[in-house]
Chain A
Amino acid sequence: MNAVITGLGVLAPNGLDTEEYWKATLEGRSGLVSVEGVAPSPTPVSVAGRLPDYSPDDSTPARLRIQTDRWTQMGLLCTEEALGDADLDLSGLDPYECGVITASASGGNLFVQKEIQNLYAKGPATVTAYQSIAWFYAATTGQISIRHGLKGPCGVLVSEQAGGLDVLGEARRALRKGSKMIVSGGLEAPIGPYALTCQSSDPRLSAVSDPHRAYLPFDRAASGHIPGEGGAILIIEDADSARERAAPRVYGEIAGGAATFDPRPDSGRPPGLARAVRVALEAADLSPDMVDVVFADGAGTVEGDRQEAEALVEVFGPRGVPITCPKTMVGRLYAGGASLDAATALLALRDQVVPPTIGVTDPIHDGLDLVLGAPREARLRTALILARGIGGFNSAVVLRREG
């Protein structure tokens, strides 16, 4: 059983659909902007990746708008795009063989903010009944499932920023158990006073106010990360059923993946990232030299970047593989980030070009072959995507172009 990706839907700070995002990414166009004043003091965040001129209200029916968070509305929109891209006629499929597995790291922040304000200012009776379903991590999965009548395996993975990759493994598992199609991916809408306050205790947040300098993974000037909103939805299908229905395109297959967890920081044992990479390659039956490009996690912190650089050099050798971090253009989208990276990797495999890492000028490690400033054309067959989540999550997924 092979799990293939047949459709993509993207919402990112530098592009409101797949092709707009991909074009901006190849051109190195950033979606990072100043959000001075959004976060209450003393939250240090003054730069974030925001969806430009995006109002989910335009695309979400009134009923759904009232009962959903912005993050869920984004998920519904990405799903529409992805299903359209896959040219999937759901009426031709058994609804019990179609599922939805998404990732979320913080749920419906903006909805929560509104209802907390109602609760404190006006009393419990003014809190909408929809609060019970709108904030919840599984809300996006549930609304996608209801809207499209997908009654097979449904779930949400909450493994911080690794979740956006973990869902691909979970989707593949569902296909192995007999499903034909899984709507997968992750999104996040973490930009608002309440959401940013929740993040404010995280020392990894960058306090730099210049959008061009605030998030510089693998650079000596790295100062932490900045948050962004958006993500991607991927349509994962059983390769045979995709072929049978003559799917218009197959972006690639999920060749292998692995998730590991870091040991306790004071244990003296190494972090779990290199192990995740090795196990993922083993699962894909590939040796390190067969990987053509790595989409790095790019923590943007001194410690996180060092750990990732060491893991990559350990597995691939010094300058053994091109490495890129297009997140430098959108920020860290939490559960949406790794799903977006997976979508980006598939577009890279399609067009045989590695998108650039922007802003980085002074890399921390000579052993990294970073694709800096401009895209690099290359013969790409296999891409490795890495994601790490706060608290010790590591995830690695290998995507392979067919043929």
Chain B
Amino acid sequence: MNRAARPLCFAIQPIFVTRPLGTPTPENPWGDHQRTRETMPEFTLQDIIHIMRENVGADESVDFDTDISNTTYEELGYDSLAVMEIMSCVEQNFGMRIDEEVTTDLKTPGETVTYVNKILTAVV
């Protein structure tokens, strides 16, 4: 099954759905898209804020109008399960995979944005 061809998380426009399907290989069992620089999307802080607010739910005490890029998920009221859900939505919306071991190292939205863009720009 091709991961990026699946319908995506509710709110963000699909980016890769119209692209040709990838072929599953032992190294890439999900058949994720082989990306090129020309089709590379950019992942922004606004994207992850959107996911946090719409898909995962925001703690009432958090003010998203302030710069939260260096505020930890924990300080924003997200436990480990919520962070997992945030990463899962990023994966679905941006047709990519985030290594589970990396997930625990990404402590803030800013770190996540940097990491995701690094993956998205890596030309395969």
Q: Which A residues are closer than 8 A to B by beta carbons?
A: 61-67, 121-123, 125-126, 128-130, 132-133
Contacts and interface: CB of A to CB of B under 8 A. Distances in A.
25 contacts: A61-B57, A61-B60, A62-B57, A62-B58, A63-B56, A63-B58, A63-B59, A65-B57, A66-B56, A67-B57, A67-B81, A122-B6, A123-B1, A123-B3, A125-B3, A126-B7, A126-B9, A128-B85, A129-B81, A129-B82, A129-B84, A129-B88, A130-B85, A132-B81, A133-B81
Interface in B81-95: 81-82, 84-85, 88, 91-92
Contact of A125 (B55, B77, B82, B88): B88
A64 B1 CA distance: 32
Contacts of B84: 129
B57 A64 contact: yes
Interface of B: 1, 3, 6-7, 9, 55-60, 77, 81-82, 84-85, 88, 91-92
Contacts of A123: 1, 3, 6
B41 to A, nearest CB: 18
A127 to B, nearest CB: 9
B96 to A, nearest CB: 11
A125 B92 CA distance: 8
Given A61-B60, A128-B88, 16 more contacts: A62-B57, A62-B60, A63-B60, A63-B77, A64-B57, A66-B56, A67-B81, A125-B6, A125-B88, A125-B92, A126-B9, A129-B82, A129-B84, A130-B81, A130-B85, A132-B81
A67 B77 CA distance: 14
Closest 7 CB pairs of A and B: A63-B57, A66-B57, A129-B85, A129-B84, A62-B57, A123-B6, A122-B6
Given A130-B81, A132-B81, A133-B81, A125 B57 contact: no
A126 B57 contact: no
Contacts of B59: 63
Given A130-B81, A130-B85, A133-B81, A125 B91 contact: yes
**A interface, by DSSP: helix, strand, loop or mixed?**
helix
Contacts of B56: 63, 66
A157 to B, nearest CB: 25
Nearest to B30: A125
Nearest to A66: B57
A65 B59 CA distance: 11
A62 B59 CA distance: 7
Nearest to B92: A125
A61 B57 CA distance: 9
A126 B58 contact: no
Nearest to B97: A125
Nearest to A61: B60
B55 to A, nearest CB: 8
Most B-side CB within 10 Å, residue of A62, A67, A125, A132: A125
Contact of B7 (A63, A66, A122): A122
Contacts of A66: 55-57
